[in-house]
Amino acid sequence: FAEDGYRMWLRYEPVADQSLQQQYRKSLQQLVINTDDATLAIAKQELQAGISGLTGQAIPHSRQVSEHGALLVGTPQSSQDIANLKLDLSALGPEGFRIVSADIAGKRATIVAANSNKGALYGSFHFLRLLQTEQSINSLEISSAPSVQHRVVNHWDNLNRLVERGYAGLSLWDWGTLPAYKDNPRYRDYARINASLGINGTVINNVNADARILTDQFLEKAAALADVFRPYGIKLYLSVKFNSPMLLDGFETADPLDADVQKWWQARVKKVYEYIPDFGGFLVKANSEGQPGPQDFNRNHADGANMLAEALEPFGGIVFWRAFVYAPEQGDRFREAYDEFMPLDGTFKDNVIVQIKNGPIDFQPREPFSPLFGSLEKTNIALELQVTQEYFGFSYHLAYQGPLFTEALNADTYAKGEGSTVGKILAGEVFDYKQTGMAAVINPGNSRNWTSHPFVQSSWYAFGRLAWDVNLTSAAIGEEWLRQTFNNDTGFIESMQEIMAISREAGVNYRMPLGLTHLYAQGHHYGPAPWHDKSGRADWTAYYYHQATKDGVGFDRTASGSNAIEQYHSPLDQMYAKPESTPEDILLWFHHLGWDYKMGSGRTLWHELVYKYDTGVAQVEKMQATWESVKDFVDTERYQRVKALLKVQLRDAKHWRDACISYFQSVNGLPLPKGSPKPA
């Protein structure tokens, strides 16, 4: 059959290394799971399929350890053998796991132990990852627990099955055949993919929400999906429209302080829990890009979020309330989320989590971190990342997002002195949050390989792994993904690591280097339109962001401009106050500088800009050459597809470079530096 990438990183192809193959066969003679629990039944299925694929040897199931080479999976509650081992599981929490090698009644065994069946499932997937990445499984001693509590994927799927910013076909949720056809294997495989990373929640519909999601018609469909996801440890959440009482039941108001509105939500939430007893909660986009919200009724975000939180509280549900807000009246879009949310710190209920995009504007190729991280001390927060490539060339460009995600997590907020990184804050290590979370907007649709571009899978993978462990590196995650998704050949991995390392930076370089931002054509966000378009909403035009004039370029966010830098803790506010101490890759986010401003390289700003655009194009050429060099290690289908897409990417990279350089040149009237653009 065609190798189309459907199996993602769960391929379970035969292990190539013969001595490891022997080791695995010897160590994996019997699978011992001593319960009929649905989650462990999934672990059993996955381990049996995975191990027989990887080793070419079936692993029979048994209820007790009776042979050397046992793989024992479970909890001290379900397995007397695990209880007898008296493993310390206290640091694992409800979802972590340990994997250890030990003897059980004189038999050599590998034990995957956890405090819950879900933890045991995560441990099983981790064990399979060890085999897939060709690690020795003799003398294992692994202990792992997730960094954050709520590890959630967000779908921007509409009820008509169009996916906002999805680029991978129609929505996975085939509403027309639900709830009848819930056994669609895609739903199970979707759940497997997420569970393999420890993802424990999914918001199945678009934040630009359709009120009908809360009607019986859709709730019974959503409930069918929740049934499929449940044994995989995945909770279902819904995006809701804030004025649902008006749209669904003719209310004249959706004022969160109105008693009838509150009762409406309480009743509706009760209904949701009748359909889905372990429902996760709501995700809300309010007073943003035309969506209704509490401000329409002269109330604030906390009033709105708390009203929903109160309705959900008796059932243990939570509210993810998004901080992605801005309006054209605002002087600087950068400032807005902070200015709206900071005064409300401490007023949100404990079951509210404010969900913040990594940067202050909108998933741009590079943003400084949102100053809300490190500032909201008394409000639970979650980070929102974007796996789908709205601003990275859709599913046509190769752009592994690991470097962007880790850049965001490793950013130091200095909230409590040096080392107060966004990752640590999210993990609840800096402030005492009641709930912690990470979310990512993913893009799977009915494309055969889920994400359309095979490498978008790597960013989904990176998100899941980082939500589990915020300290992982982008390179380590990239390597894991490559090994499982393609193969373990050292030469292949070494060559491909370079692609994993440069692809995101290439996307920055050929679109908007040195801290330029949002030079996209309005609406589709694919190609460039840096030109000064005076029609339409000011904060949706590129000029708003780059402010290029004859004298210079960049957005002044220092005291002489919008002073957004005051939203950062010291010493960042001082650092960003001066161009000399602002990192060059975010320079134009904070400063309006003359075209002849001297850069660290000795070049003028203008020349450096051109140099970066050229570099971006050269990096795509480099990726092409690398991909060509690994041809023999990749199946024909994926090789050809990526090769073809890289051609599209090169065409687009040149288009970006040429459009942006010509536009800026038309503004500054300066000649191009000698030898640029470099001949291809």
Please give the positions annotated as active site.
289, 362, 390
β-partners of residue 281 are 237, 318
CA distance 398 to 252: 48
The one among 208, 262, 410, 676 contacting ligand GCW by CB under 6 A: 208
Taking alpha carbons only, the member of 348, 359, 345, 361 closest to residue 313 is: 348
471 burial (CB, 10 Å; 0-12 / 13-18 / 19+) is: middle
Cβ within 8 Å of residue 287, ≥6 positions away: 293, 294, 295, 296, 301, 325
Name the minimum Å distance from CB 515 to ligand GCW. 19
CA distance 607 to 616: 14
SS3 73: strand
According to DSSP, residue 342 is labeled G
According to DSSP, residue 250 is labeled -
Phi, psi for residue 202 in degrees, rounded to 5: -140, 130
Q: Is 156 in the site for ligand GCW (CB under 6 A)?
A: yes
Name the minimum Å distance from CB 395 to ligand GCW. 16
Helix pair angle (185-195, 216-229), 10° resolution? 60
DSSP string, 149-188: SEEEEEE-B-TTS-BTT--SSSBS--GGGTTTTTT-HHHH
Residue nearest to ligand GCW (CB): 362
CA distance 105 to 103: 6
Question: Which residue in this structure is represented by tokens 């694919």?
Answer: 526
User: For ligand GCW, what does the binding mask look like between residues 320 and 339, x meaning CB under 6 A?
Assistant: ----x---------------
The one among 207, 240, 372, 440 contacting ligand GCW by CB under 6 A: 207
Span 659-678, contacts to ligand GCW by CB under 6 A: none
Cβ within 8 Å of residue 351, ≥6 positions away: 281, 309, 312, 313, 317, 318, 319, 434, 435
Name the minimum Å distance from CB 219 to ligand GCW. 22
Phi, psi for residue 320 in degrees, rounded to 5: -95, 115
Q: Is 362 in the site for ligand GCW (CB under 6 A)?
A: yes
578 burial (CB, 10 Å; 0-12 / 13-18 / 19+) is: exposed
User: For ligand GCW, what does the binding mask look like between residues 108 and 147, x meaning CB under 6 A?
Assistant: ----------------------------------------
SS3 147: coil
Burial 64-82 (b: 16+ CB within 10 A, else e): ebeeebbbbbbbbebbebb
SS3 566: helix
β-partners of residue 102 are 109
SS3 445: strand
The one among 232, 363, 555, 639 contacting ligand GCW by CB under 6 A: 363
Which ranges constitute the DSSP H helices of 469-565? 474-485, 490-511, 542-546
The one among 107, 118, 221, 285 contacting ligand GCW by CB under 6 A: 285
Q: Is 522 in the site for ligand GCW (CB under 6 A)?
A: no
Residue closer to ligand GCW (CB basis): 197 or 286: 286
Cβ within 8 Å of residue 588, ≥6 positions away: 514, 515, 516, 517, 546, 553, 554, 555
Contact 439, 380 (CB under 8 A): no
CA distance 115 to 86: 12
Taking alpha carbons only, the member of 454, 490, 491 closest to residue 637 is: 454
Q: Is 266 in the site for ligand GCW (CB under 6 A)?
A: no
SS3 401: coil
φ/ψ region of 477 (left if φ > 0, alpha if ψ in -120 to 50, else beta) reads: alpha
Tell me, letter by letter, the H, E, C secondary structure of 18-61.
Answer: HHHHHHHHHHCCEEECCCCCHHHHHHHHHHHHHHHHHHCCCCCE
Phi, psi for residue 153 in degrees, rounded to 5: -95, 145
CA distance 62 to 332: 64
Q: Is 404 in the site for ligand GCW (CB under 6 A)?
A: no
**Residue ranges that bind ligand GCW, judged by CB under 6 A:** 156, 164-165, 207-208, 285, 289, 324, 362-363, 390
